[in-house]
Amino acid sequence: MRIEAVLFDLDGTLLDHDGAAEAAVLAGAAAELPGQPLDRDGLLHFWRDLERREYDRYLAGELTVQEQRRARALGLARHLGLGEWSDEQADAWFAGYLRRYRRSWRAFPEVPRAVRELGADRQLGVITNGEGDIQRDKLRTVGLDALAAHTTASAEAGCAKPDPEIFHLACRTLGVAPANTAYIGDRLDVDAQAATEAGLLGIWLEREPTGAPAVTVPRVRTLAEVAPLLG
């Protein structure tokens, strides 16, 4: 089947979200505890878990964007032994975190060339679980303006990955059939397997070895491997 369009996940696939989030939370924690040593690994592990948990509650409609941000700041304050923050303290801390996070946005090194190659004779787009404004802002900031114009964001779509509907919506927007579309993302379940179940060619980007056994979807280690895979 000829692949006419390639859709990407954004965070962890095109943009080094973890790297930016780590830089932002380390600086934000250090600012609260001047002169004190930080357990970096413990903090980063805690922050990743907390983010995943609260963001999933936001995607499920249990929390607003602001509530999930506040919950993460309040959780961090407790983790650092800073006690119970007020909502205002939490919001102020998160605003600083977001500023640092934005300043640290970077595309993964292979992205510009891989996107150019894949886009030479195919349509390209993005499907992302998040707010459209900030996600498009990320793409423009790292020089992927063309992808920003073809981004399907869950907050605007009214559905989120792994729901097949968001994959079908993105395909309709580009005017391509799911069967002629590849989708690449860094999460096996929410990205690659969900895309496959929606009728696309789902590809798993396993940037770091996870020890996952054989999987039923194609697996790549960088986006540079995708063009050769599609032929």
Interface residue list for Mg ion (CB under 5 A): 9, 11-12, 186
Q: Which is nearer to Mg ion, 77 or 194 (CB)?
A: 194
Q: How far is the CB of 185 from Mg ion (least distance, A)?
A: 5
Q: Which is nearer to Mg ion, 50 or 77 (CB)?
A: 50
Q: Which is nearer to Mg ion, 10 or 71 (CB)?
A: 10
Q: How far is the CB of 29 from Mg ion (least distance, A)?
A: 24
CB-based contacts of 104, cutoff 8 Å, min separation 6 = 19, 20, 23, 24
Angle at 170 (CA atoms; ends 143, 66), nearest 5 degrees: 70
* DSSP letter (8 states) at residue 125: E
> How is 75-118 classified by DSSP, letter by letter?
HHHHHTT-----HHHHHHHHHHHHHHHHHT--B-TTHHHHHHHH
Q: How far is the CB of 35 from Mg ion (least distance, A)?
A: 36
C-alpha to C-alpha distance for 199 and 73, rounded to whole angstroms: 39
C-alpha to C-alpha distance for 8 and 51, rounded to whole angstroms: 21
Q: How far is the CB of 9 from Mg ion (least distance, A)?
A: 4
C-alpha to C-alpha distance for 33 and 215, rounded to whole angstroms: 44
Q: How far is the CB of 211 from Mg ion (least distance, A)?
A: 19
b/e sequence 189-207, b meaning 16+ C-beta within 10 Å:
ebbbbbbbebbbbbbbbbe
Q: Which is nearer to Mg ion, 52 or 99 (CB)?
A: 52
Q: Which is nearer to Mg ion, 89 or 222 (CB)?
A: 222
Instruction: Tell me which residue has its CB nearest to Mg ion.
Output: 12
C-alpha to C-alpha distance for 209 and 71, rounded to whole angstroms: 31
Q: How far is the CB of 191 from Mg ion (least distance, A)?
A: 6
Q: Which is nearer to Mg ion, 11 or 54 (CB)?
A: 11
